[in-house]
């Protein structure tokens, strides 16, 4: 494998897992782009022009209701890519994609992704396995929203976000988290207050720092473990 360097494509797990010959065909076409907090990568019904492979940025795929309310369907960080519709035969999706944590990603034009996907059997298996892991996360999120407390949901969301982030400090407002989870801001304020009092996190003016990841994991529901285990299973030792 090619050695990682600052802002290297190898900081994305999917790109890092590609055999050298396959990676070299893509390398010249990968464009490093900064992604600012709140940047919209695509809107519902909009034709996707690029796939994004995050390295330090985190994107949120979410569904926006007619009322303007929204809920996160799934998050994407350095373990995956944004633009699954491009390899599944569709060009658009009913969801939107927005940057929830600023950072960097490598952008690839859709034609080149589809071309390489059809050429490389390994890349096909890798990206389809990631798609299966993404579907697992979507399904588990739906179960979590229905059956678990706001505090458990917040713990799950924080753990998954920290797993993808380069540090344990997140630039995140309570309003944004409430929008992601589809709950009232007051519910997030109460849950975050409980976690801060327990020493799991600290919160100050839009910055959340995870202080005790172990305790946070003990307070979450089983959904976090299911998603993490399935992601590791599907993206390890791809045949």
Cβ within 8 Å of residue 7, ≥6 positions away: 32, 55, 104
Highest mean pLDDT among 60-74, 161-175, 181-195: 181-195
pTM (2 decimals)?
0.89
Contact 139/133 with Cβ under 8 angstroms? no
Q: Which pLDDT score, from 0 to 100, does residue 88 have?
A: 87
CATH class of 149-220: mainly alpha
Angle between helices 185-197 and 174-181 (to 10 degrees): 110
* Region(s) of the chain under CATH 2.60.120.10: 9-122
How far apart are alpha carbons 35 and 98 in whole angstroms? 9
Phi, psi of 2 (to 5 degrees): -80, 135
> Where residue 1 falls among pLDDT bands split at 50, 70, 90?
very low
Give the separation between CA 48 and CA 207, rounded to whole angstroms: 32
pLDDT of residue 5: 47
Cα 164 from Cα 24, distance rounded (Å): 25
Report how far Cα 116 is from the mean position of its chain's Cα atoms.
23
Helix (H, G, I), strand (E, B) or coil at 109: strand
Asked if the model's pLDDT at residue 78 lies above 50, the reply is yes
Domain 9-122 fold: Jelly Rolls (2.60.120)
Report d(CA 66, CA 153) in Å as an integer.
Answer: 24
CA distances from 99 to 35, 36, 81, 198, 199 (A): 7, 7, 13, 30, 28
Instruction: Name the segment(s) of the chain with CATH classification 1.10.10.10.
Output: 149-220
pLDDT of residue 3: 43
Tens of pLDDT, residue by residue over 90-111, are 777 888 999 999 999 999 999 9
Mean pLDDT of 191-216: 92
Tens of pLDDT, residues 117-160: 999 999 999 999 999 999 999 999 888 988 999 999 999 999 99
| Average pLDDT score over residue span 225-234 | 89
Radius of gyration of the chain (CA): 18
Measured in degrees and rounded to the nearest 5, phi and psi for residue 164 equal -95, -20
Neighbours of 207 (CB within 10 A): 12
What pLDDT sits at residue 4? Answer: 44
């Amino acid at each position: 494998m090619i050695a990682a360097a600052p802002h290297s494509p190898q900081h994305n797990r999917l790109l890092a897992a590609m055999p050298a010959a396959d990676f070299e065909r893509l390398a010249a076409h990968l464009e490093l782009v900064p992604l600012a907090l709140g940047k919209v990568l695509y809107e519902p019904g909009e034709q996707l022009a690029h796939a994004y492979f995050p390295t330090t940025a985190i994107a949120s795929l979410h569904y926006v209701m007619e009322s303007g309310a929204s809920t996160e369907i799934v998050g994407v960080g350095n373990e995956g890519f944004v633009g699954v519709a491009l390899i599944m035969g569709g060009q658009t999706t009913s969801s939107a994609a927005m940057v929830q944590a600023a950072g960097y990603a490598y952008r690839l034009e859709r034609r080149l992704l589809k071309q390489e996907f059809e050429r490389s059997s390994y890349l096909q298996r890798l990206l389809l396995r990631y798609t299966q892991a993404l579907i697992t996360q979507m399904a588990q999120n739906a179960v979590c929203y229905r059956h678990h407390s706001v505090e458990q949901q917040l713990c799950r969301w924080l753990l998954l976000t920290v797993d993808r982030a380069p540090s344990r400090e997140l630039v995140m407002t309570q309003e944004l988290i409430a929008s992601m989870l589809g709950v009232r801001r007051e519910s997030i304020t109460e849950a975050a207050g409980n976690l801060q009092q327990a020493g799991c996190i600290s919160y100050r003016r839009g910055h959340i720092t995870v202080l005790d990841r172990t305790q946070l994991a003990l307070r979450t529901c089983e959904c976090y473990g299911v998603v993490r285990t399935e992601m590791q299973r599907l993206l390890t030792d791809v045949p």
